Amino acid sequence: MKVVLINGSPNAEGCTYTALREVEQILNDEGIETQLFQVGKKPVSGCIACRSCFKTGHCFMDDSVKEVAALFPEHADGLILGSPVYYATMSGQISSFADRLFFSSMKERRFDYKVAAGIVSCRRGGAVGAFDDLNKYFLMNNMYVVGSQYWNMVHGSKPEEVKQDLEGLQTMRRLGKNMAFLLRAFQAAKQLEVKEAVLEEEHIFTNFIQGS
Ligand SMILES: Cc1cc2nc3c(=O)[nH]c(=O)nc-3n(C[C@H](O)[C@H](O)[C@H](O)COP(=O)(O)O)c2cc1C
């Protein structure tokens, strides 16, 4: 079993990373493989709405969005999006990254029935808004969103400060435990041949202006 973690901060080893590592360590202790991706410091392009992915099943841009998409659904079972809080929302980098990751995955339905969580890091305020933003991707893609003992947030401007946020870090560790449990439960369900939650219908899209 494998969980992919994305650090949506340009700081490769900053606060968001510190929180992600706390979850990652628990997942690893529970025998779950992990792979961490960095959005990095270079600009991350947003979606240009070309819709070529509707035909090809992947984003035409050659960057780590493609790499992450290629891991789903066969090679990964869970996704964690991490973001610093920028003006009470997620970072522009993770927004661009996730827009393209999820839009280009619609054709293949890559994330259906995978487990997911968002985590955020802020100095002082806006964490809940940013956390909600991340969860929006999961909640319209048939994903199982994993919770913890509190909303998944840590506080600090530097990793050393995050390390003092004992409740925040505990929230991360419990998230790791909860996610590991759910992954094991799904694995057991598969062995017991429990029927997957598949709705045997074509996905209906009705725009508000019909025929558009
Ligand atoms: C452009 C920008 C906007 C920010 N906006 C907020 C904010 O709205 N609320 C807040 O508490 N911190 C804000 N911060 C601080 C970061 O969210 C905070 O320091 C975070 O923990 C940094 O995570 P990182 O080390 O992973 O980059 C902002 C930082 C930047 C660079």
Q: What is the pLDDT of residues 33-88, one digit of tens each?
A: 999 999 999 999 999 999 999 999 999 999 999 999 999 999 999 999 999 999 99
Question: Which tens digits make up the pLDDT trace of 98-131?
Answer: 999 999 999 999 999 999 999 999 999 999 999 9
Q: How many other β-carbons are positioned within 10 Å of the β-carbon of residue 53?
A: 20
Q: Is 159 in the pocket of ligand 1 (CB under 6 A)?
A: no
Question: Which tens digits make up the pLDDT trace of 129-174?
Answer: 999 999 999 999 999 999 999 999 999 999 999 999 999 999 999 9
- Nearest ligand 1 atom to alpha carbon 88: 8
CA distance 61 to 100: 9
Question: Which tens digits make up the pLDDT trace of 178-198?
Answer: 999 999 999 999 999 988 888
Q: Are 114 and 73 in contact (CB under 8 A)?
A: yes
Q: Is 178 in the pocket of ligand 1 (CB under 6 A)?
A: no
Distance from the alpha carbon of residue 14 to the mean position of ligand 1, in angstroms: 11
Burial of 51 (0-12, 13-18, 19+ CB in 10 A): exposed
Structure pTM? Answer: 0.96
Q: Is 15 in the pocket of ligand 1 (CB under 6 A)?
A: yes
Distance from the alpha carbon of residue 160 to the mean position of ligand 1, in angstroms: 15
